[in-house]
Chains A and B, each alone.
Chain A
Amino acid sequence: MNDMTPIQTTLKDWESDQEVRWCPGCGDYAILKAVQRTLPQLGADPAKTVFVSGIGCSSRFPYYIESYGFHTIHGRAPAFATGIKLANPELDVWLVTGDGDGLSIGGNHLMHILRRNVNVQIMLFNNEIYGLTKGQYSPTSRIGTTTPSTPQGSVDRPANPCAFALGAGARFVARGFDVSKNLPDVLKAAHAHQGAAFVEIFQNCVVYNKDVFNDFAQPKGADDRQLWLVDGEPMLFAGGAKGIKLDLDTLSLQVVDVVDGDWQAAGVIVHNAKNRAIAHMLVEMPFGPFPMALGVLYDDPRPTFEGAVVEQTAKATEGREASLAKLLGKGQTWTVGGTAQDPIGTRTFPQGEPGAAQGDGVRNRNGL
């Protein structure tokens, strides 16, 4: 995000005049609403906000937000966003991508925007499927996913978006899901972070991968299966009856029971969003034996890429005169005739007539 004068807007101000074209019941509707609800709370200015996307269902997102929007090509949104931020660091750039767009065809660019730490918010809608191309398995599909391209079930191991982001050097990693009431808070934290903020948003594809996240996302019993992380708070879930402990012998996380609310006695650790080692454990924490880690998993800012570029340019420019005439005449030069101080025009080639006395340029000669 950027420091800017807060602008008074409402949710309505962020709705474009375009008809939303996602399938009825798609999780994208909920995410769109969450974003449109969040932007007024941030005091964001529609004229200074840019949504950039790649290709896929999620990437239609910019058309529905009343701000500047650029729907680019498959997987490359991070590269466009980098160019936009370098050209105008004042713009508030949100990047919208999906599991196929961001982790398959565009994995390279996602890695580099995170490593460079360009100051943008990256929302990766993970529905574990290719929706727009009609349901092929994606790099985040679980082993055994049956699709038109994997009729006997997929056999390759899925990528873990948050682990990828952290491994690429991200300084902000968070998770949420489409219908979660906490999603705006996660987005606000991402916006507050100076640098590349990576948010994985689990999103329900009702047509090709329906309810695949119900195991942790369905409201009933959610508290037992969702661990919402809050910086400085103990890692508790199941209404405080369970917590996460760091086992020092095996250097791994464990689920422990908390008796009578005495989480300290149970050894439950306090979430420190700046602890990169714990962040690595949280993103790898397998769902099933553990709850799904949600919220801000890691948040430890570093100087941004575009900030460093601006600084270096300022330093390189300081005290240097930008005279094009001087630049062109730089290096070792020589003058012909007496008008050397006022050089105009460029070299012309003579329009010779046949037989005109022109040098051949190359001649034989012997005995140099």
Chain B
Amino acid sequence: MATQAADRPAETQASGAAPEAVVVRFAGDSGDGMQLTGGQFTLSTALAGNDLATFPDFPAEIRAPQGTLFGVSAFQINFGSTQIDTAGDAPDVLVAMNPAALKVNLAALKPGGLIIADTGEFTKRNLDKAKYESNPLEDGSLAKWDVLAFDISALTIEAVKPFGLGNKDALRSKNMWTLGLALWMFDRDRQPIVDWLKAKFKAKPEIADANIAALNAGHAYGETAEISGPLKKVSIPPVESDPGLYRTITGAESVSLGLVAGAQLAELPMFFGGYPITPASAILHHLARLKEFGVTTFQAEDEIAAICAAIGASYAGQLGVTSSSGPGIALKGEAMGLAIMTELPLVIVNSQRGGPSTGLPTKTEQSDLYQAVYGRNGDAPMPVIAARSPADAFDVAIEACRIAVEYMTPVMLLTDGYIANAAEPWKVPDPESYAKFPVRFLKEKNAGDTLLPYRRDEKGARPWIKPGTPGLMHRIGGIEKHVETGNIDYSPANHQAMTDARKAKIDEIAVPDQDVALGESTGRLAVVGWGSTFGPIHQAVRRARRRGLSVSHIHVRHIWPLPKNLGELLAGFDRVLVPEMNTGQFKTVLRDQLLIDAESLTKTSGQPFAIAELEEAIGKYFDDIPDNEGGEVPADAQQLPVSASGHDDGSLRPERRSPQSKVNP
């Protein structure tokens, strides 16, 4: 097991040199506005031209009791002048707005990192609530970090005094004061935040002014305070990116926009049936504001009604879409079977969260893969595709729409809580650059004088017939139906033929060949991922390759059916490692479909993989490399988080564990 070095990192950059990337974590009470602070810092960072990735981590409780450990909300951002793929492993800077925030997040902080703490909140009462026996700012327990502690509360009250706010209201600007300081530290422009505050509080200009004053005061504090010690201004130059127009985007926005684009490429109005559930609701919220794009949103009475209404809309000729997270997807299972049976297009978005049951509503996991691929009654094949990042979700949503209408089938699109909430810069695409796939409804009988609603085209798809079309009246339903007429038919040969036809249609879906995300197409080790593990796998493989290891990163978008060349591609590697945030579900699919000895690296702590965790696992396949004997990777111990912050070093596991679950060390 990796241990956290107690001393300062050996590999220290020359003082004053600009680092390539910095990880900052803002942590406070769920009422302290940390997500908002993080979001605004993200914006100013994006506008400064840095690449970035964020990770909001907040409790499931809306307003947990103030000052408690379980009420801590955090927002982490990794930004730099090089390509950023993850929200970063260990923060360089931790902003702790109260003792609980310090306690919960300290374990993750890099040794030698900087703690900024508000002494105004380190009262006896708050220390008790955070279960501190003595004040960590005073008792020397933070010796391995740099600490910058001052009374942000008092400074904020002072700054907003001219606006005549009470203390309670004044303190609500504390996050803006802190943001101002952070903007100074990283040489960021304040103007976008000022503009945003003015727009947000248009109706209450005095609140806007107070917040701006707090922001400026925090900034001025950094500039003028005569403090010797850790607080220094750091400048991160912009990243070199492809030329173009950029914006930041979260996965939920990206999926929504991709669905709108997909419906337009299909030349169809879109119907979205949803039911509130974390972390999927944001898609419903986004789409509800896009009515002018031919989008109808419907908040149904439950998950089942949401999908059934979407199928009803598809039946009537629109592109039906529904969205949920694991527990809601479970409820939709029977209706998915009906969409498969009646062969109607439908897109089902699953923003996965920790399970089973209610599980971890606000934490991320990839454990609904079996549910997506295998989780229905009967032989009910359905395409499954997965987004790798917030920006990627746009293209994946379009692809889901294409498959749904071209093959007359429901399609499952997998994202997860991390993708849904995280933001990254997105190079805004030109919608004209996407190939259209316009839908053609059947307008007249397709077999002379006869209508055959289940006669298939070359893709195996049946015609889409809108009610309201004269002369094409017919009946469909969930009962097994005749291969061509669609009339009820229970005969043995017919059920065999229909089962085969449904399976063949999905098996033969045209899926692009699998590419290699990084590295050669043969070699010692292929690290095969899917979904939101893209970032950490990519960085870990890149680092391993810099050490000369023969390792490639392959990231699979099309989970079902798999790309036709995947088996051949993986056969070119000696070993195949599949890291995923579940107990090895994609590994099972690969073994099942390709008969290869795919090995698992699993993590189910509700936190994304850290780069260092993957780097360490990769290293074990290369014990004959100089300096890497016995598989002891000189992984950057500084970077390895401790178990308290979600790193699975084996110590989190109970005595009893599945012999199948392979643990890193």
Residues of A within 8 A of B (CB): 16, 18, 46-48, 50, 52, 55, 62-63, 66-74, 76, 78-84, 86-88, 90-91, 108-109, 111-112, 309, 312-313, 316-317, 320-322, 324-325, 327-356, 358-368
Contact = CB atoms under 8 A, between A and B. Distances in A.
A88 B517 contact: no
Interface of B: 8-9, 11-13, 15, 19-23, 43, 46-47, 49, 78, 80-86, 88-90, 92-93, 110, 112, 114, 146, 185, 192, 230-232, 234, 241-248, 257, 260-261, 264, 269, 271, 273, 290-294, 296, 298, 300-302, 304-306, 308-318, 320, 334-335, 337-338, 342, 391, 394-395, 425-433, 466-479, 487-488, 516-519, 538-539, 542-543, 545-546, 548-550, 611, 636, 638-639
B430 A108 contact: no
B243 to A, nearest CB: 3
B182 to A, nearest CB: 11
Contact of A361 (B20, B479, B487, B516): B20
Given A332-B192, A343-B430, A84 B313 contact: yes
Contacts of B298: 82-83, 86
Nearest to B430: A344
Contact of B312 (A82, A90, A344): A82
A340 B335 CA distance: 45
Contacts, number: 334
A3 to B, nearest CB: 15
Nearest to A364: B9
A359 B543 CA distance: 9
A56 B629 CA distance: 68
Given A70-B475, A79-B308, A88-B316, 20 more contacts: A18-B487, A79-B306, A83-B316, A86-B298, A87-B316, A90-B468, A109-B304, A309-B296, A313-B291, A317-B292, A325-B430, A330-B247, A332-B47, A334-B247, A336-B246, A345-B433, A362-B21, A364-B9, A364-B638, A368-B230
Contact of A345 (B22, B86, B271, B427): B427
A344 B269 contact: no
Contacts of A328: 257, 261, 428-429, 431
B292 A321 contact: yes
A225 B269 CA distance: 52
Give the secondary structure class of A's interface. loop
B300 A322 contact: no
B20 A16 contact: no
B112 to A, nearest CB: 5
Please list the 4 inter-chain residue pairs (A to B) with the smallest Cβ-Cβ separation, ordered nearest first: A359-B82, A337-B243, A83-B312, A71-B477
Contact of A351 (B11, B309, B516): B516
Contacts of A74: 334
Given A333-B245, A346-B427, A68 B473 contact: yes
Nearest to B44: A332
Most buried by B among A16, A47, A348: A47
A87 B335 CA distance: 18
A188 to B, nearest CB: 22
Contacts of B549: 354
Nearest to A342: B430
Contacts of B110: 364
Contacts of A337: 242-244
Nearest to B23: A362
Given A87-B312, A309-B296, A364-B9, A340 B245 contact: yes
A327 B257 contact: yes
Contact of A359 (B21, B517, B545, B550): B21
A67 B472 CA distance: 9
B308 A76 contact: yes
B43 A332 contact: yes
A349 B316 CA distance: 41
Contacts of A81: 312
18 contacts: A47-B467, A47-B471, A68-B468, A73-B334, A82-B309, A87-B296, A87-B317, A330-B247, A334-B245, A336-B242, A345-B244, A349-B83, A349-B518, A353-B545, A354-B519, A359-B82, A361-B20, A366-B12
B62 to A, nearest CB: 26
Contact of A48 (B317, B467, B487, B488): B467
A360 B539 contact: yes
B430 A368 contact: no
A330 B469 CA distance: 39
Nearest to B309: A83
A69 B517 contact: no
Contacts of B306: 79
B20 A359 contact: yes
Contacts of B185: 368
A83 B477 contact: no
A47 B470 contact: yes
A91 B468 contact: yes
A368 B230 CA distance: 6
A360 B82 contact: yes
A83 to B, nearest CB: 3
B545 A329 contact: no
